[in-house]
Amino acid sequence: MSRSKRRRRSRGKSAAQRLPRLPALLHRKLYKTGQTRGADDDEIYQNRVLRQSTVLIPYNCWDLCALPPDGSENYENGFITLISPSDYFETENIEEVLAAKGLSIGRNALVFYETREQWNLHNPAELNWTVARRRRPPLAGRYVARVPATTAADGRKILRGFETRKPKGAGIRVYEYASTETIAKCRDQLEALFWFCKDADDVIIANGMADDAAKARKTAVLKNCEASGLLNKDQLQRARAINRAGNTICPLCLEEGMDACGC
């Protein structure tokens, strides 16, 4: 990231911090839009972390997901490509194939064990492989494993890599990713839609925000969204987010107001 871009982002963040604070419940709801969904400890994914975290890319999706969906050059906190044992061990000259894609096991790619058959057929202990411990290159290992338990005598589940520390997990699902800029814009647009609710002012004041503070924040957020091109009224109407009057509506029943929607 260029120095000028960092300064612009820092200035924007400082300006947002100077705005009057929203009531806790609304602030929390907006903040959560920048987080990923939950993931169990037995999964390889991180649980409830920010959407700009390290991305896990399945090897069979590499060509589609090598670059972030917003058109930027890189994932902010890097990526790890997960390749199955069958793809790794059954592909001729696999290291050369990976290198042609800019991938390397232990640097930005790992062999990912998901079944007992994979584990038994290509046991990493017999290969003298170490388990990965880092999310950024070098990954300090060649593999990770999330093998479910079975009813067999030796069928205990096998969890290797990123399973004991917090936050657990190697990274986030690739389709959960969003850049810091995208997260900020989404939060601003969602807050704008809140302010478009016809009873927003009454609701927010009833929940503890002073009238002058509410007006100042509303004005600043809507102005910022207009400047960023986030309030295209025609698009919002077509998406059934607002009606012709410019009020936020339920996209299902089309009712205005927070108490009117029965959905």
Given the structure tokens 């997990």, which residue do they identify?
Answer: 169
Q: What is the pTM of this model?
A: 0.85
Q: What integer is the mean pLDDT of 174-182?
A: 95
β-partners of residue 27 are: none
The rounded mean pLDDT for the chain is: 91
Backbone angles phi, psi at 57, to 5 degrees: -115, 115
CA-to-CA distance for 261 and 263, rounded, in angstroms?
A: 6
Question: Is pLDDT above 70 for 14?
Answer: no
pLDDT of residue 4: 46
Burial 22-40, CB ≥16 within 10 A → b, else e: beeebeeebeeebbbeebe
Question: Is pLDDT above 50 for 157?
Answer: yes
CA-to-CA distance for 172 and 79, rounded, in angstroms?
A: 9
For residues 34 and 187, is the Cβ–Cβ distance under 8 A? yes
CA-to-CA distance for 30 and 22, rounded, in angstroms?
A: 10
Question: Is pLDDT above 70 for 49?
Answer: yes
Instruction: Domain ranges for the chain, please list them.
Output: 55-176, 179-263
pLDDT of residue 33: 93
pLDDT of residue 258: 63
Question: Residue 24 contacts by C-beta under 8 Å, 6 or more apart in sequence?
Answer: none
Question: pLDDT tens across 63-102, in order?
Answer: 999 999 988 999 999 999 999 999 999 999 999 999 999 9
Question: Residue 40 contacts by C-beta under 8 Å, 6 or more apart in sequence?
Answer: 47
pLDDT of residue 10: 47
Question: How does DSSP assign 228-253, residue by residue?
Answer: TT---HHHHHHTTSB-TTS-BB-TTT
pLDDT of residue 257: 67
pLDDT of residue 18: 84
Question: Is pLDDT above 70 for 8?
Answer: no
